[in-house]
Chain A
Amino acid sequence: TQLLEQSPQFLSIQEGENLTVYCNSSSVFSSLQWYRQEPGEGPVLLVTVVTGGEVKKLKRLTFQFGDARKDSSLHITAAQPGDTGLYLCAGPPNSGNTPLVFGKGTRLSVIA
């Protein structure tokens, strides 16, 4: 069973459109991280959300952590081709020194 479920698995949109991708779990996480991975490279951290209900903005990207700390969303406004990539959420499954578990990601393609 996958601890972090991401949806949709694939998303293809036109430049300028808005989109939201989701990261859900039945477990509570002390924090969640979002990464973007481009082909041939390792994931790069975008943001960490820690507090339930927290909203963080990174230019056109808005990240939200659910009140119960079981889910998170990433909203992109006016998507650009440079946003293309694999978006991964990750978190420590238990409090304490446990390694991050990753969702399977949402593969986003933004067409010019």
Chain B
Amino acid sequence: GEEVAQTPKHLVRGEGQKAKLYCAPIKGHSYVFWYQQVLKNEFKFLISFQNENVFDETGMPKERFSAKCLPNSPCSLEIQATKLEDSAVYFCASSHRHDNSPLHFGNGTRLTVT
């Protein structure tokens, strides 16, 4: 597609429940990025993929967070056993390259953990 599509738009989970977020990148873009935007607007890089391979996972929390980009499927970001501090808007972006290339963002998934 011509836009990065993220689903769902909103997700509410009780503490300890699993949350799974989806992202369909722009067709033809090789790189997918996940960022977390918390209340103070700060964008925190989580992970990036080159096609279905993890490219950079330096921002991913070591526990509870995992992500995949499988062929012919939307990319996904999964949080096991959510905590209150996981509440944020999670943005997916795609681009042609990993370095200076502009990022095309989806509209995000707002995760609220209660």
Q: How far is the CB of B5 from chain A (nearest CB, A)?
A: 11
Q: Which residues of A contact B59 (CB under 8 A)?
A: 99
**Main SS of chain B's interface residues?**
loop
Contact stretch, chosen from A20-28, A61-69, A74-82, A90-98: A90-98
Interchain CB contact (< 8 A) of B98 among A99, A102, A104: A99
**Main SS of chain A's interface residues?**
loop
* Bound complex: CA A9 to CA B106 (Å): 24
Q: Determine whether the beta carbon of B108 is less than 8 Å from that of A101.
A: no
Interface size bracket, A side: 20 to 34
Answer whether A99 and B45 are a contact pair too, CB < 8 Å, given A42-B4, A43-B105.
Answer: yes
Q: How far is the CB of A6 from chain B (nearest CB, A)?
A: 9
Q: Determine whether the beta carbon of B42 is less than 8 Å from that of A102.
A: yes
Q: Determine whether the beta carbon of A42 is less than 8 Å from that of B93.
A: yes
Q: Determine whether the beta carbon of A104 is less than 8 Å from that of B40.
A: yes
Answer whether A92 and B99 are a contact pair too, CB < 8 Å, given A42-B107, A99-B48.
Answer: yes
16 additional A-B pairs beyond A44-B105, A48-B100, A90-B103, beta carbons within 8 Å, are A31-B100, A40-B107, A41-B108, A43-B103, A50-B100, A92-B99, A92-B100, A96-B99, A97-B56, A98-B98, A98-B99, A99-B48, A100-B103, A104-B41, A104-B42, A107-B41
